[in-house]
Amino acid sequence: MKKNTDGLRYPSIDKLLEKIDSKYKLVYAASKVARILDRENLDVEDSKCEKSVGMALEEIIKDRVDVDFD
């Protein structure tokens, strides 16, 4: 599978905002998930992105993560 190196054009911000209603919450969630991916040296097999933030955004859009904002 070809990896995405185009930056944040994928996944779409519009689709991401359908999952999380605020850009600020989205940044918080993506950074939290990306940190976990980096810290535990995890790789998402079906990811199109190379970087952990992109992988985190893909996981959010696929409903694979649950982030609590309380």
Q: What is the pLDDT of residues 40-53, one digit of tens each?
A: 998 888 988 889 99
| pLDDT level of residue 6 (50, 70, 90 thresholds) | low
Q: Choose among 7, 52, 62: nearest CA to 32.
A: 52
d(CA 1, CA 16): 22
Task: Look at residue 31 in the predicted model and tell me its pLDDT.
Answer: 95
In this predicted structure, the answer to whether residue 22 has a pLDDT above a threshold of 80 is yes
| Helix (H/G/I), strand (E/B), else coil: 49 | strand
Task: Look at residue 3 in the predicted model and tell me its pLDDT.
Answer: 61
